Copies of this chain bind each other. A is one copy, B any other.
Amino acid sequence: MALKFEIEKTLPGADGVPRARAARLTLPGIGGKSHEVLTPCFMPVGTAGTVKGVTTGELREMKAQVVLGNTYHLYLRPGHERVERLGGLHRFMAYDGPILTDSGGFQVFSMAGLNKIDDEGVTFQSHIDGSRHRFTPELSMEIQRSLGSDIVMAFDQCPPYPATRDEVMAAMRRTRRWAERGLKIELKPHQQRFGIFQGGLYEDLRVESAREITELPFDGFAIGGLSIGETPELMQKMAHFAAPLLPSDKPRYLMGVGRPEDLVECVRGGVDMFDCVMPTRNARNGQLFTSQGKVNIKNARYTDDSSALDADCPCETCQLYSKAYLRHLFVSNELLSARLNSVHNLTFYLRLMTAMRAAILENRLDDWVKTFYTKWNTEKSGVSGT
């Protein structure tokens, strides 16, 4: 069963290249229960079988369309075979919407203890207990097959930033060989495969890697190797360069991005799908995203602020509570703090994508972006007066 990707509208960028798109992605789903995903979309990250602090019921209420699961984490704990015995990841975490799993590649390079990469795979130590493990492109597919996700990501090598041209080229070549090996592993009928291309910040390598990966029979493509330490400007510039290298008739996914401004700029660049831990991680640290800009809720200026966090937001946090209450929960280290903050930040990210989609469909994206930035900079400039 193959996904369907129907583009409803494409807008040209300032450079005349077709870029921002609104599309309808149909995933076959387990047991013929197909899922429709309206893009551009943001996918909340549910690392270890839970989007931290929120339930899947809340994710549905906030209209999350796809949830991401991390192969590395689920392999280590509770174990992919256990998840499969328990009915698969959807059932395990009580989420009947689409799930995308990453390949585990990024985590073994960035999170795990000492890792050793060779052509066959990667040996690494668990960040939980130091135990030694080995991932190969084949095992990554097998793990994701057991998890039963709807979208399976190819196992790639993401070079660090900064990296020399030779290092990036080697990783890119290996990523291509690993992509081919992964494709030989059969998945479940409902599962779709996305390839990942690399090339760091080297335009010629991006061109070459995109060509090498897009000639393989993937159902969608991801831009890997960005948002790993380079400046947002460099990231955005490369995303703009990279997006049009991918086929226009398949979904384009920019992995690990990013700040609200990054989502805005990369949708403009031609990206359809995003994921990032920022809304939930920053929520736990008290940094909240609002239509008026960022709010550090621990700031003493909110101690007596009886106003809602974001008057424009329909989420429970904004409808029921004051900034003073949210600050109180944060400084008191109350469990409810991370929860209410996460519900809000995710709602903000999801509504940002919905608004951009509407603006694309109605051919008014540039105006929408101007208004977004004007409001977004309110809090920074102190104009809001709160």
Chain A residues packing against B (C-beta within 8 Å):
48-50, 52-57, 77-78, 82, 85-87, 92-94, 303-304, 306, 316, 320-322, 324-325, 328-329, 331-332, 334-336, 338-340
Q: Which of B56, B77, B320 contacts A94 (CB 8 A)?
A: B320
Instruction: Given A78-B303, A303-B82, A322-B92, check contact A53 B335 (CB 8 Å).
Output: yes
14 intermolecular pairs with C-beta atoms under 8 Å apart: A48-B328, A48-B334, A49-B325, A50-B329, A52-B336, A53-B335, A55-B336, A55-B339, A57-B316, A57-B320, A77-B328, A85-B304, A86-B304, A94-B320
What is the total number of copies of this protein in its complex? 2
Q: Which residue of B lies closest to A51 (CB)?
A: B336
Residues of B within 8 A of A57 (CB): 316, 320
| Contact yes or no, A316 B55, CB < 8 A | yes
Q: Which residue of B lies closest to A319 (CB)?
A: B94
Q: Which residue of B lies closest to A337 (CB)?
A: B50
Residues of B within 8 A of A331 (CB): 77
A354 CB, nearest partner CB in chain B, Å: 24
Q: Which residue of B lies closest to A336 (CB)?
A: B50
Q: Which residue of B lies closest to A280 (CB)?
A: B335
Residues of B within 8 A of A320 (CB): 56-57, 94
Q: Which of B48, B56, B324 contacts A332 (CB 8 A)?
A: B48
Residues of B within 8 A of A52 (CB): 334-336
| Contact yes or no, A77 B332, CB < 8 A | yes
A288 CB, nearest partner CB in chain B, Å: 17
Residues of B within 8 A of A48 (CB): 328, 332, 334
| Contact yes or no, B322 A86, CB < 8 A | yes
Q: Which of A77, A78, A329 has the most CB of B within 10 A?
A: A78
| Contact yes or no, B86 A53, CB < 8 A | no
Residues of B within 8 A of A303 (CB): 78, 82
Residues of B within 8 A of A92 (CB): 322, 324-325, 328
